[in-house]
Structure 1
């Protein structure tokens, strides 16, 4: 692979950032489903693909879910993460425990959320190519969201992903140099103690 190809491949990853401010513009259905398709290409334990996604584009349902979030760093004065309401789409990433447990039993508990998070990462990276950004929100009342979405007991919501076109694009945050966190054949002294 030549350097130009490598740089092109890395661009979505380098440009991905968490977006918490959106313009009033709908995401085209084809784009949203292309992003979700990218999610389904993620690796998963035993190829069990435990992810399920609930698309929330209804303001009333979105408001009900946002009311179940915990105040975050960027909304210290608010009882919830109200900025989510700016997003035209709220994607609820869910883990289907039944699907993976059928093969792995209780060992599935360790893997289904990791596998689903991998799918979300692919969705967020695919969005960058379309100018659609999002943010992983993990601070919410799981049981309340499950009830609002009528999820069966074996489906667990693990993340709320507001998606939309950003009102501004900040700079991606600093990322550690790979040499600081890479070890060969055995763990060596970490760069960070």
Structure 2
């Protein structure tokens, strides 16, 4: 039951205290991301960890000026690594790399929650700018920017559509 409680407790946090996230905790979060399901266990995802204030500010600007990114003590950018998956699955490997990355993102968010930290999945950003800022190879796609820190807010969980509205049995 603890796992389900964790799923429903997770919320998006955009305000952080000045307290740092220590390296040991950060490694647990990254290990949780890497424990996510992966097509063929190829783990076609990579993590870029950013603590540098100037780099965080540049990422925030590339993310449509979402400045809370710069205020988090640590930011993880999760990337899809296409060749790692495409070498086995061909063109379909692009999709699998993106799925690997997004599964890792959710694991990271859940680990952050389990560790009583806060984070938010930021998907609104200029991919080209983020790739340039982080000097990503051309075969890697940034999938999410995740600012992480100690929460300075306590939002209530957001309303969700009823599952009955989203669920189709046997066919659409």
**Using the alignment, how far apart are the partners of 2:163 and 2:15 within structure 1?**
30
Report what 2:140 is aligned to: 155
Task: Give the one of 32, 51, 54 matched to 2:48.
Answer: 54
**Using the alignment, how far apart are the partners of 2:61 and 2:170 within structure 1?**
48
Report what 1:134 is aligned to: 119
Task: Give the one of 87, 90, 93 matched to 1:102.
Answer: 87
Task: State the TM-score, normalizing by the size of structure 1.
Answer: 0.84
Gaps (5+ residues) in structure 2? none
1:38 has 2:32 as partner: yes
Q: Which runs of 4+ in 1 moved over 4 A?
A: none
Task: State the TM-score, normalizing by the size of structure 2.
Answer: 0.94
Secondary structure at 1:137's aligned position in 2? Answer: coil
1:117-136 deviation digits (Å, cap 9, x = unpaired): 11110011011111111111
1:35-74 deviation digits (Å, cap 9, x = unpaired): 111111111222211110100001011112222122xxxx
Q: Is the 8 A contact 2:59 2:69 kept in 1?
A: no
Q: Larger radius of gyration, structure 1 or 2?
A: 1
**Using the alignment, how far apart are the partners of 2:50 and 2:10 within structure 1?**
22
**Using the alignment, how far apart are the partners of 1:116 and 1:157 within structure 2?**
9
**Using the alignment, how far apart are the partners of 1:85 and 1:150 within structure 2?**
18
Q: Is the 8 A contact 1:12 1:126 kept in 2?
A: no
Gaps (5+ residues) in structure 1? 1-5, 71-79, 188-193
Over aligned residues, Cα RMSD in angstroms? Answer: 1.3
Deviation of the 1:168 alpha carbon: 1.5
1:75-122 deviation digits (Å, cap 9, x = unpaired): xxxxx1112221001111111001001001111122221220111100
